[in-house]
Amino acid sequence: MTLSVLIIAALLVSIGLGYSFKINIGLFALSFAYIIGAFAMGLSIKQIVDMWPMSLFLIIVFITFFYGFAINNGTLEKITDYTIHYTRKFPYVLPFAIYALCIVMSGIGAGPWAVFAFMSPPIMILAAQTGMSRVLAAVIITSGGVTGAFMKTSVGGIVCRSLLERLGYTPDIANAYANGIFFNLFLAETLVVAVLYVISKGYAIKAPVTKMPEPFNRKQVITAVLIVVSFTAIMLPSIVDTLIPGNALISFLKKQSDPTFISLIAAVLALLLKLGDEKAALARVPWSLALLVCGVGVLIDVAVKAGAIHQMALLISGAVSPEMAPLAVGVVAMIMCFFSSTIGVVMPTLYPIIPNLAETLSVNPILLFSIIVVCASITGISPFSTGGALVLTGMDDERERTGLFYKLLAMPFFGVAIAMALAFAGVFSLAF
């Protein structure tokens, strides 16, 4: 018990120190993993090093490396310009068109941080031109970014499946659970956008004044083709396998269609075709996120080996009823996400307790896995989180930025209330 308390304290201290000193939490977590693992548990250095989730690290690096070309050579910007231009005659659908665009951009591999950073300035400018609520615009950016991130081809979905497999689920079950979690997140975030759309009268915005964007240049056309081909190579085998189950060739392709190496090949082709600069694309890789996710992952593995995760599950299961389990888990995820990353900290910390918790309380695990992702992701709109902070940087007017700051503080509670309503209505349990 003393060892479990020590590891849990180390995780909380890592989060606190990282938040207070603006230092990557993964560095603290990895340091504590070494100190506790080597000196308190007697683990060998090799055992600790082997806990580093190498496959997850490579996935984050290669996918974001490839999409660095699409960002740097203006391909994603051009797609945005065309989307805005072609919806100008139907201004009432523009908020949902932008929301869908954010989902797609994040989902094809660019990830939520690219959406937050890249889409915030043009969407905030568009909001000013059309009279769209700045809060609605901010929610569209963050909700679209995090929702797309949990598609199979993006970092959140990949991390989700990786964590589930590390918990002992088979690849097929992990994939099915991850799909269900994405569906529940999409449902919750879309409902938040829709409710806010009605409240803020998003249907009454004015048509944006735009001119026909410049045509795609050679680099942008080839980059767009590479994106479509790589996305298809990753997704198509799974789709066909669902429609035509039992085909040996399709099952083989589904198993071998790995996002990591498909993205690596796409990046190599981008370099050979001179679609962008290698150093500039590498600069787009979220190295700090990779260190955060993997560093915390090592500490969590040490906690699992010490039995701390099992004891946490028993503690929670003894304190709450089955009916209140989603609320308890969701509130914890929400609080954690105010100060840390959903993908990097919240999921690696809370996911390991869910199998035991779900079994003890006889609760559908997909409900608890989903509520963690949904509540943490919705809290990402907070100005203290990455999503909310990057959205605020997209605004030039200091007075408007300050006003939006305080409004965004309230949005997590609004969103989590909607998520809890869906959870208690049994909607999240329908995904699996």
Please, are residues 340 and 19 in contact by the beta-carbon 8 Å criterion?
yes
Q: How far apart are CA 26 and CA 24, in angstroms?
A: 5
Q: How far apart are CA 412 and CA 407, in angstroms?
A: 10
Classify residue 5 as exposed, middle or buried by CB count within 10 Å of its CB (0-12, 13-18, 19+). Answer: exposed
Tokens of 351: 């996911």
Mean pLDDT over all residues of the chain? Answer: 87
| Residues 265-281 pLDDT 10s | 999 999 999 999 999 99
Phi first, then psi: what are they for 169, rounded to 5°?
-75, 145
**Per-residue model confidence (pLDDT) at position 432:** 61
Classify residue 313 as exposed, middle or buried by CB count within 10 Å of its CB (0-12, 13-18, 19+). Answer: buried
Global pTM reads 0.80
- Characterize 374-404 residue by residue with b for buried, 16 or more Cβ atoms within 10 angstroms of its Cβ, and e for exposed: bbbbbbbbbbbbbbbbbbbebbeeeeebeeb
Residues of the chain with pLDDT under 50: none
- Characterize 104-123 residue by residue with b for buried, 16 or more Cβ atoms within 10 angstroms of its Cβ, and e for exposed: bbbbbbbbbbbbbbbbbeeb
**Per-residue model confidence (pLDDT) at position 431:** 63
Q: How far apart are CA 271 and CA 275, in angstroms?
A: 6
Residue 189: closest CA among 76, 126, 99: 99
Delimit the domains of the chain by residue range: 2-431
